[in-house]
Amino acid sequence: MSLHLRRTSPEGEEGYPGTVQVEVTYTLSVAELRLQYRAQTDRPTVLNLTNHTYWNLAGGGRDVLDHRLQVQASRFTPTGPTLIPTGEVQPVAGTPFDLRQPQRLGDVLAHPHEQLTFAGGLDHNFVLDQPGTGQAVATLHDPHSGRRLEVQTTQPGLQVYSGNFLDGTITGRGGQRYGHRWAVCLETQHFPNSPNQPHFPSTRLNPGEPFASQTIYRFSVQD
């Protein structure tokens, strides 16, 4: 089952040059959600497409602090107090950002690291070690339900956001209110602030050079 969406962003929208044609296809199978993005422009512009889905593998009634998160990234891009990446690329080793082995989210978020203080939790871009190889770049597991989510992508970065500003004002299905730490986002994308950091992977899109990317969310059960 697939859903194909198209949108035209006109010249000058939100200050961006060029008319950009954007397409995204969502394909849902028994245990997989596949997102395929395409875009083209008639003038040089910048483009960074992602998906801001919130995940809670408990299925409701519980926050995500007991979820185990693993991200295959040896480096991350720290931010300043305004949460904009500074341009540095730092190793995760010896920091709470070392998620190369599964870590309980509650333990990570309790760490008194300056970067976590800036964001009120995780809201950071991880520099993926092996994107586009067909290998999982991240896994999320809820030990209570057994549900496991695996992420694959062709994008170079993964923005992890730990629901820092969820405050119970949003109501979902069944009247469920989404409170603090009620979900986590795993956003595959290029690095934030790339247009101002020439050593980051480029987000420039030129005429005649179509953009294409793919992200796969795969679901399973783990004891």
One digit per residue, pLDDT tens: the chain, 223 residues? 999 999 999 999 999 999 999 999 999 999 999 999 999 999 999 999 999 999 999 987 889 999 999 999 999 999 999 999 999 999 999 999 999 999 999 999 999 999 999 999 999 999 999 998 889 999 999 999 999 999 999 999 999 999 999 988 888 878 888 889 999 999 999 999 999 999 999 999 999 999 999 999 999 998 7
The DSSP code sequence of 17-79 is -S-EEEEEEEEE-SSEEEEEEEEEESS-EE-------EE-TT-SSS-STT-EEEE-EEEEE-B
Q: H/E element holding 118?
A: helix 114-119
| From 124, 141, 150, 187, the catalytic residue | 187
d(CA 9, CA 39): 10
| From 52, 88, 144, 209, the catalytic residue | 52
The domain of 34 spans 2-221
Q: What CATH number did the domain enclosing 207 receive?
A: 2.70.98.10
- Predicted model pTM: 0.95
| Residue 187 annotated as catalytic | yes
Number of domains present in the structure of the chain: 1
3-state secondary structure of 135: coil
Q: What is the pLDDT of residue 171?
A: 85
